[in-house]
Amino acid sequence: MTPLTGYLLVAALVFAIGLGAALTRRNAILVLIGIELMLNAANLNLIAFWRYGPNPEALIGMMFAIFSIAVAAAEAAVGLGLVIAIYRHLHTTDLDQLNRMKG
Amino acid sequence: MSPVFYLLAAITVGGGLAAVLLRNLIHCALAAAVSFAGLALLFLSLDAQFAGFVQFLVYVGAVGILIVFAILLTRNADEQEGGLFSRTWLMGLAIAAAVFAVLGWAVLRSGSVLPNQLASPVASVHDIGVALVGRYVLPLEIVALLLTAATIGAVIVAMHEKEGEQ
C-alpha cells in the first residue's frame, strides 16, 4: 500500500462517517458537523494529491484546499445562523419535525 | 506507512465516529474538534504546514467555537423524544456504507496508477503568499467578498426579528 492510498482511504472513511451523520442524525447541528467532516475529507484528498502528485511547486492542490477551507467556514457560519433562526421560530432543531415549508 | 500515520488516522476516524454517535451534543462538538485537529496533523504530516495551521485556526478554533455557541443557543432542544437518529436511519447507514465501499474499491483498485512522488515538496509561506496575490488574486478577492457576504448574512439571519421590526 502506497502512502497516497492510505491517505485516500482515511479520507473516504471520514467522508462516509460525515455522510452517515448527515443522513441519520435528527439534530440539525449534528447534520452540519457531518457536512463539515465531508468537506474536510475532500480537503485531505486535495492535500494528499498535491503532496504525492507531480509538480507540487505549482501549489494547485494547496490553493484548492485553502480556498475550500475559506468557503467551508462561510458555509458553517451561515448554516448555524439558519439553525438558530429556525430554533427561534419553531423552538426545535429536530429535523423530523421540520417537515413543512410554511413558516 | 509509518506508525505516525496510523496514530493520526485513528485520532481522526475515532473523533469522527464519536462526533456522530455520542448522545450529548457538547460531547459531539468536542469530538468533532478532535477529528478536525487530527486532520490538521495529517496535513502537517503531508508537508503542508500552511494548510495544517490554517486548519487548526479555522476549524479547531473558529468553527468549533461556533458549533458550541449554536448548541448553547438551542439548548433545550437536546432532550428530544424518540432517540438520536431519524426514522430512516437504516437507509442512511446503507447509503453511507455503499459510498465508502465504492470509494474504497476505487482507491484500492487504482493503487498502481496513482502518482507516488516521494521527494517532499517545498511550499514556504512566502511562495504561498506570492501565489495568492499573483496568479490566484481573483479567487482571493472573490473569497473575500464571499466571507463578507456570509458574515453579514449570518448576522441578519440569526438576528432577533422583533428588533428589526420596530
B105 in reach of chain A (CB within 8 A): no
pLDDT-derived band at B119, boundaries 50, 70, 90: confident
Least confident span in A29-33, A46-50, A82-86, B161-165 = B161-165
Q: Per-residue pLDDT averaged across A41-70, rounded?
A: 90
A59 in reach of chain B (CB within 8 A): yes
Least confident span in A63-67, A88-92, B33-37, B74-78 = B74-78
CATH number of B1-77: 1.20.120.1200
CB burial of residue B118 (10 Å; 0-12, 13-18, 19+): exposed
Which among B29, B32, B92 is the nearest to A23, CB-wise?
B92
Residue of A nearest to B32 (CA): A33
Predicted confidence (pLDDT) at residue B36 exceeds the cutoff of 50: yes
In this prediction, residue A67 carries a pLDDT of 94
Q: What is the pTM of this model?
A: 0.90
Predicted confidence (pLDDT) at residue A57 exceeds the cutoff of 50: yes
Percent share of chain B, pLDDT over 70:
92
Predicted confidence (pLDDT) at residue B79 exceeds the cutoff of 80: no
B46 in reach of chain A (CB within 8 A): yes
Yes or no, beta carbons of A84 and B73 under 8 Å apart:
yes
B42 in reach of chain A (CB within 8 A): yes
Residue A101 C-alpha, separation from nearest chain B C-alpha, in angstroms: 17
Which among B67, B92, B104 is the nearest to A33, CB-wise?
B67
Provide the number of structural domains found in chain A. 1
In this prediction, residue B11 carries a pLDDT of 94
- Domain enclosing residue A71, as ranges: 3-90
In this prediction, residue B166 carries a pLDDT of 41
Predicted confidence (pLDDT) at residue B72 exceeds the cutoff of 50: yes
Yes or no, beta carbons of A78 and B150 under 8 Å apart:
yes
Could you tell me where the DSSP H helices lie in B22-160? 25-45, 49-55, 64-73, 89-109, 125-133, 137-158
Residue of B nearest to A6 (CA): B1
Give the three cell numbers for residue B16: 469522527
Q: A 67-86 residues with CB below 8 A of B?
A: 67, 69-78, 80-85
Least confident span in A63-67, B76-80, B118-122, B123-127 = B76-80
Q: Distance (Å, rounded) from C-alpha B166 to C-alpha B147?
A: 29
In this prediction, residue B113 carries a pLDDT of 79
Residue B157 or residue B10, greater confidence? B10
Predicted confidence (pLDDT) at residue A103 exceeds the cutoff of 70: no
List the CATH number of the domain containing A34: 1.10.287.3510
Predicted confidence (pLDDT) at residue B127 exceeds the cutoff of 80: yes
User: Per the domain annotation, does A99 fall within a domain?
Assistant: no
pLDDT-derived band at A92, boundaries 50, 70, 90: confident
- Return the domain boundaries, chain B: 1-77, 123-166
Partners of A94 on chain B (C-beta within 8 Å) are 77, 80
Residue B88 or residue B152, greater confidence? B152
Neighbours of B64 (CB within 10 A): 21
User: Per the domain annotation, does A20 fall within a domain?
Assistant: yes
Least confident span in B46-50, B83-87, B98-102, B145-149 = B83-87
The DSSP symbol for A53 reads S
B24 in reach of chain A (CB within 8 A): no
Q: A 4-33 residues with CB below 8 A of B?
A: 4-10, 12-27, 29-30, 32-33
Residue A49 C-alpha, separation from nearest chain B C-alpha, in angstroms: 8
What number of residues does chain A have? 103
Q: Distance (Å, rounded) from C-alpha B160 to C-alpha B157?
A: 8
Across the strands, what pairs with A25? B85
Q: Per-residue pLDDT averaged across B135-151, rounded?
A: 94
